[in-house]
Chains A and B, each alone.
Chain A
Amino acid sequence: SAVISQKPSRDICQRGTSLTIQCQVDSQVTMMFWYRQQPGQSLTLIATANQGSEATYESGFVIDKFPISRPNLTFSTLTVSNMSPEDSSIYLCSAPRGVQETQYFGPGTRLLVL
Protein backbone atom coordinates (compact mmCIF):
# COMPACT_ATOMS: atom_id res chain seq x y z
CA SER A 1 0.00 0.00 0.00
CA ALA A 2 1.02 3.60 -0.50
CA VAL A 3 2.23 5.88 2.23
CA ILE A 4 0.68 9.32 2.08
CA SER A 5 1.34 11.81 4.81
CA GLN A 6 -0.19 15.18 5.56
CA LYS A 7 0.87 18.16 7.62
CA PRO A 8 -0.47 19.48 9.87
CA SER A 9 -2.64 16.72 11.25
CA ARG A 10 -4.92 19.31 12.84
CA ASP A 11 -5.10 23.03 13.44
CA ILE A 12 -7.28 25.67 15.01
CA CYS A 13 -7.32 28.92 13.08
CA GLN A 14 -8.87 32.34 13.34
CA ARG A 15 -11.30 33.51 10.71
CA GLY A 16 -9.77 35.58 7.95
CA THR A 17 -6.45 33.76 8.06
CA SER A 18 -5.11 31.14 5.64
CA LEU A 19 -3.71 27.67 6.20
CA THR A 20 -1.53 25.64 3.86
CA ILE A 21 -1.81 21.87 4.07
CA GLN A 22 0.98 19.69 2.75
CA CYS A 23 0.66 16.24 1.20
CA GLN A 24 3.62 13.94 0.60
CA VAL A 25 3.50 10.63 -1.29
CA ASP A 26 6.23 8.02 -0.90
CA SER A 27 6.70 7.61 -4.63
CA GLN A 28 6.06 9.53 -7.81
CA VAL A 29 2.45 9.72 -8.91
CA THR A 30 0.90 11.33 -11.91
CA MET A 31 -2.19 12.71 -10.22
CA MET A 32 -3.02 13.86 -6.74
CA PHE A 33 -6.44 14.84 -5.47
CA TRP A 34 -7.75 17.02 -2.67
CA TYR A 35 -11.01 16.27 -0.87
CA ARG A 36 -13.04 17.96 1.84
CA GLN A 37 -15.05 16.05 4.40
CA GLN A 38 -17.40 18.21 6.40
CA PRO A 39 -18.46 16.97 9.84
CA GLY A 40 -20.51 13.79 9.62
CA GLN A 41 -20.52 13.79 5.85
CA SER A 42 -18.91 12.08 2.92
CA LEU A 43 -15.90 13.20 0.94
CA THR A 44 -16.27 15.86 -1.73
CA LEU A 45 -13.63 16.29 -4.40
CA ILE A 46 -12.16 19.80 -4.42
CA ALA A 47 -9.64 19.57 -7.23
CA THR A 48 -7.09 17.54 -9.13
CA ALA A 49 -3.49 18.66 -8.61
CA ASN A 50 -1.64 18.35 -11.89
CA GLN A 51 2.14 18.42 -12.03
CA GLY A 52 3.37 21.17 -14.27
CA SER A 53 0.02 22.81 -14.85
CA GLU A 54 -2.79 24.48 -12.96
CA ALA A 55 -5.09 22.45 -10.79
CA THR A 56 -8.48 21.42 -12.13
CA TYR A 57 -11.30 22.45 -9.80
CA GLU A 58 -14.68 20.82 -9.31
CA SER A 59 -17.90 22.73 -9.45
CA GLY A 60 -18.28 24.94 -6.39
CA PHE A 61 -14.57 25.27 -5.69
CA VAL A 62 -12.38 28.10 -6.97
CA ILE A 63 -8.68 28.75 -7.14
CA ASP A 64 -8.83 31.98 -5.15
CA LYS A 65 -10.28 30.13 -2.17
CA PHE A 66 -8.30 26.90 -2.51
CA PRO A 67 -5.02 27.56 -4.31
CA ILE A 68 -3.08 24.39 -5.00
CA SER A 69 0.56 23.79 -5.79
CA ARG A 70 2.14 20.70 -7.32
CA PRO A 71 5.85 21.38 -7.62
CA ASN A 72 6.84 17.75 -8.27
CA LEU A 73 5.46 14.23 -8.61
CA THR A 74 5.48 13.44 -4.88
CA PHE A 75 4.20 16.62 -3.24
CA SER A 76 1.25 18.97 -3.26
CA THR A 77 -0.16 21.72 -1.10
CA LEU A 78 -3.69 23.00 -0.60
CA THR A 79 -4.26 26.43 0.90
CA VAL A 80 -7.56 27.32 2.53
CA SER A 81 -7.72 31.08 2.14
CA ASN A 82 -9.56 33.73 4.11
CA MET A 83 -11.07 31.10 6.35
CA SER A 84 -14.51 31.20 7.92
CA PRO A 85 -16.10 28.77 10.37
CA GLU A 86 -17.80 27.07 7.41
CA ASP A 87 -14.37 25.89 6.29
CA SER A 88 -14.07 23.71 9.39
CA SER A 89 -13.62 20.27 7.88
CA ILE A 90 -11.22 17.44 7.33
CA TYR A 91 -9.08 17.96 4.26
CA LEU A 92 -7.64 14.86 2.63
CA CYS A 93 -5.29 14.22 -0.21
CA SER A 94 -5.19 11.07 -2.29
CA ALA A 95 -3.26 9.51 -5.12
CA PRO A 96 -3.67 6.42 -7.30
CA ARG A 97 -0.91 3.92 -6.70
CA GLY A 98 0.14 0.47 -7.77
CA VAL A 99 -0.51 -1.66 -10.79
CA GLN A 100 -4.26 -1.34 -10.33
CA GLU A 101 -4.00 2.42 -9.69
CA THR A 102 -5.87 2.00 -6.40
CA GLN A 103 -6.69 5.34 -4.81
CA TYR A 104 -5.01 5.74 -1.43
CA PHE A 105 -5.70 8.51 1.07
CA GLY A 106 -3.70 10.46 3.54
CA PRO A 107 -4.77 10.62 7.20
CA GLY A 108 -6.41 14.01 6.75
CA THR A 109 -5.96 17.45 8.25
CA ARG A 110 -8.60 18.43 10.78
CA LEU A 111 -9.27 22.13 10.59
CA LEU A 112 -11.32 24.13 13.04
CA VAL A 113 -11.95 27.79 12.25
CA LEU A 114 -13.09 30.01 15.08
Chain B
Amino acid sequence: GESVGLHLPTLSVQEGDNSIINCAYSNSASDYFIWYKQESGKGPQFIIDIRSNMDKRQGQRVTVLLNKTVKHLSLQIAATQPGDSAVYFCAENKANRDDKIIFGKGTRLHILP
Protein backbone atom coordinates (compact mmCIF):
# COMPACT_ATOMS: atom_id res chain seq x y z
CA GLY B 1 0.00 0.00 0.00
CA GLU B 2 0.95 3.65 0.03
CA SER B 3 3.49 4.71 2.60
CA VAL B 4 6.01 7.35 3.31
CA GLY B 5 8.27 5.98 5.97
CA LEU B 6 11.69 6.23 7.49
CA HIS B 7 14.21 3.49 7.98
CA LEU B 8 15.47 4.45 11.45
CA PRO B 9 13.43 5.86 14.32
CA THR B 10 16.47 7.36 16.12
CA LEU B 11 19.77 8.68 14.83
CA SER B 12 22.61 9.82 17.08
CA VAL B 13 25.31 12.00 15.54
CA GLN B 14 28.36 13.66 17.01
CA GLU B 15 28.23 17.43 17.03
CA GLY B 16 30.05 18.75 13.98
CA ASP B 17 29.57 15.60 11.95
CA ASN B 18 27.25 15.30 8.99
CA SER B 19 23.96 13.45 9.35
CA ILE B 20 21.84 11.67 6.78
CA ILE B 21 18.18 10.93 7.36
CA ASN B 22 16.51 8.57 4.93
CA CYS B 23 12.97 8.17 3.72
CA ALA B 24 11.26 5.71 1.39
CA TYR B 25 8.05 6.34 -0.47
CA SER B 26 5.94 3.93 -2.43
CA ASN B 27 3.71 6.06 -4.63
CA SER B 28 5.35 6.91 -7.92
CA ALA B 29 2.59 9.48 -8.53
CA SER B 30 4.01 11.74 -5.84
CA ASP B 31 5.63 14.78 -7.37
CA TYR B 32 6.55 16.97 -4.43
CA PHE B 33 8.49 16.09 -1.29
CA ILE B 34 9.16 18.09 1.83
CA TRP B 35 11.32 17.75 4.92
CA TYR B 36 10.05 19.14 8.20
CA LYS B 37 11.77 19.59 11.53
CA GLN B 38 9.75 19.38 14.70
CA GLU B 39 11.26 20.50 17.97
CA SER B 40 9.72 19.53 21.26
CA GLY B 41 6.53 21.45 21.95
CA LYS B 42 6.38 23.06 18.53
CA GLY B 43 4.69 22.53 15.19
CA PRO B 44 6.59 21.18 12.18
CA GLN B 45 8.93 23.68 10.60
CA PHE B 46 9.60 23.62 6.86
CA ILE B 47 13.23 22.85 6.04
CA ILE B 48 13.50 22.16 2.34
CA ASP B 49 11.49 20.72 -0.49
CA ILE B 50 12.10 19.14 -3.86
CA ARG B 51 9.97 18.43 -6.88
CA SER B 52 10.11 15.25 -8.88
CA ASN B 53 11.81 16.92 -11.84
CA MET B 54 14.92 17.41 -9.70
CA ASP B 55 17.27 14.97 -7.99
CA LYS B 56 19.10 17.34 -5.68
CA ARG B 57 18.43 20.60 -3.96
CA GLN B 58 20.60 22.50 -1.52
CA GLY B 59 19.78 24.92 1.23
CA GLN B 60 21.70 26.35 4.12
CA ARG B 61 23.60 23.37 5.61
CA VAL B 62 20.95 21.01 4.22
CA THR B 63 20.71 19.01 1.03
CA VAL B 64 17.82 16.89 -0.14
CA LEU B 65 18.41 14.06 -2.58
CA LEU B 66 15.66 12.36 -4.53
CA ASN B 67 16.12 9.03 -6.25
CA LYS B 68 12.96 8.32 -8.18
CA THR B 69 14.25 5.00 -9.48
CA VAL B 70 14.24 3.45 -6.01
CA LYS B 71 11.71 5.90 -4.51
CA HIS B 72 14.12 7.18 -1.92
CA LEU B 73 14.52 10.59 -0.34
CA SER B 74 17.27 11.74 1.99
CA LEU B 75 18.09 14.80 4.04
CA GLN B 76 21.72 15.62 4.65
CA ILE B 77 22.60 18.05 7.41
CA ALA B 78 26.15 19.34 7.36
CA ALA B 79 28.15 20.13 10.49
CA THR B 80 25.36 19.29 12.90
CA GLN B 81 24.75 21.58 15.82
CA PRO B 82 22.91 21.06 19.11
CA GLY B 83 19.99 23.03 17.67
CA ASP B 84 19.53 20.36 15.03
CA SER B 85 18.21 17.96 17.68
CA ALA B 86 14.60 17.33 16.71
CA VAL B 87 12.31 14.90 14.96
CA TYR B 88 12.54 15.05 11.19
CA PHE B 89 9.65 14.09 8.96
CA CYS B 90 9.58 13.53 5.26
CA ALA B 91 6.28 14.26 3.61
CA GLU B 92 4.83 13.89 0.16
CA ASN B 93 2.20 15.51 -1.93
CA LYS B 94 0.51 13.56 -4.63
CA ALA B 95 -0.30 15.44 -7.75
CA ASN B 96 -4.01 14.71 -7.46
CA ARG B 97 -4.41 15.36 -3.75
CA ASP B 98 -5.09 19.10 -3.72
CA ASP B 99 -2.10 20.18 -1.65
CA LYS B 100 -2.66 17.48 0.94
CA ILE B 101 0.62 16.63 2.63
CA ILE B 102 1.08 13.07 3.85
CA PHE B 103 3.70 12.54 6.53
CA GLY B 104 6.14 9.72 7.12
CA LYS B 105 6.84 8.27 10.55
CA GLY B 106 9.68 10.53 11.62
CA THR B 107 13.30 10.14 12.75
CA ARG B 108 14.56 11.57 16.00
CA LEU B 109 17.98 13.15 15.52
CA HIS B 110 20.06 13.31 18.68
CA ILE B 111 23.23 15.40 18.61
CA LEU B 112 25.93 14.12 20.92
CA PRO B 113 28.23 16.70 22.57
Please list the residues of chain A having a beta carbon within 8 angstroms of any beta carbon in chain B: 1, 4, 31, 33, 35, 41-45, 48, 92, 94, 96, 100-108
Please give, as numbers and ranges, the residues of chain B lying within 8 Å of A105 by CB-CB distance. 36, 43-45
B27 to chain A, nearest CB (A): 15
Contact of A42 among B42, B43, B89 (CB under 8 A): B89
Inter-chain residue pair count (beta carbon < 8 A): 48
- Establish whether residues A102 and B49, one from each chain, have CB atoms under 8 Å apart when the complex forms: yes
- Establish whether residues A103 and B46, one from each chain, have CB atoms under 8 Å apart when the complex forms: yes
Contact of A103 among B42, B101, B104 (CB under 8 A): B101
Please give, as numbers and ranges, the residues of chain B lying within 8 Å of A103 by CB-CB distance. 34, 46, 91, 99, 101
Please give, as numbers and ranges, the residues of chain A lying within 8 Å of B91 by CB-CB distance. 103
Please give, as numbers and ranges, the residues of chain B lying within 8 Å of A4 by CB-CB distance. 43
Please give, as numbers and ranges, the residues of chain B lying within 8 Å of A33 by CB-CB distance. 99-101
B103 to chain A, nearest CB (A): 4
Residue B102 at the A interface, CB < 8 A? Answer: yes
Known: A1-B46, A104-B46. A42 touches B101 (CB 8 A): no
- Establish whether residues A108 and B98, one from each chain, have CB atoms under 8 Å apart when the complex forms: no
